[in-house]
Homo-oligomer: A and B are copies of this chain.
Amino acid sequence: MNSIRTLLEQRTSVNHFDTRRPVDEAQITELVRLATLSPSAYNFQNWKFIAVRDAAAKERLKAAAYGQQKVVDAPVTFIVCGTLNAHRRLAQVLQPSLDAGILNADVVKAWVSMAQGSHEGNPQLQRDEALRSASLAAMTLMLAAQDQGLVTGPMSGFDPAAVAQAFGLTADEVPVMLVTVGYAADGNWAQKPRRAVREVLEVV
């Protein structure tokens, strides 16, 4: 078992993956299960994960990711999407929380109304929310993978329109990050130094 501090201090963004070691579907499912324990506004759960592991699919993704080889070398790359118009599905998404007695009907009604009021007709807020939820989930997925002895390579360097076309995303599905997952080969960078905390933190 690894402490989260250890996971964070050991995590690096990996470019070189062992091409011989697979990641199986049970691992993929568990990573996504854990990723979806991340929070989202109103518990929207406005995310979708596409696990790319078939050879032909990897080539399609590589082409949409400016030819980055790690997409082919890694056993799996997740296209982590945030979804737009999440407010329209909110009542349905919260039904299990209502059924479980965690949220009451008044809270659900209020949230659906608030989300409708702020998100309907507000594409920038919807996009921000898609970015937020997908990024929160991607971070969790990376740490969960690290805990399983896997390494990860987060990427925002890809052509979103090309990814959308190559994988048949709907107009509501925004590809936010790619996360390659597998086992490290040689030649990866050490963790890069970070700015001093005093440069990025203000206490008031």
Q: In the complex the two chains form, is B189's CB within 8 Å of A103's CB?
A: yes
For residue A172, CB closer than 8 A to chain B, the reply is no
- CB of B203 within 8 A of CB of A53, answer yes
CB-based nearest B residue for A193 = B96
> Would you call A147 and B41 a contact (CB within 8 A)?
no
A81 to chain B, nearest CB (A): 9
CA distance A127 to B176 in the complex (A): 12
Interface residues on A, range: 35 or more
CA of A189 to CA of B94, assembled, Å: 13
Contact A4 B189, CB 8 Å, known A136-B139, A197-B33, A202-B48: no
> How many angstroms between the C-alpha atoms of A174 and B154 in the bound complex?
22
Contact A202 B50 (CB under 8 A): yes
Since A132-B135, A136-B136 are in contact, a sample of 14 more A-B pairs with Cβ atoms closer than 8 Å, ordered by chain A residue number, is A4-B34, A5-B34, A8-B37, A8-B140, A33-B194, A33-B197, A36-B194, A36-B197, A39-B142, A50-B203, A53-B203, A100-B192, A135-B139, A167-B204
Q: List 7 A-B contacts (CB under 8 A).
A: A2-B3, A36-B200, A43-B192, A96-B192, A100-B192, A131-B131, A132-B156
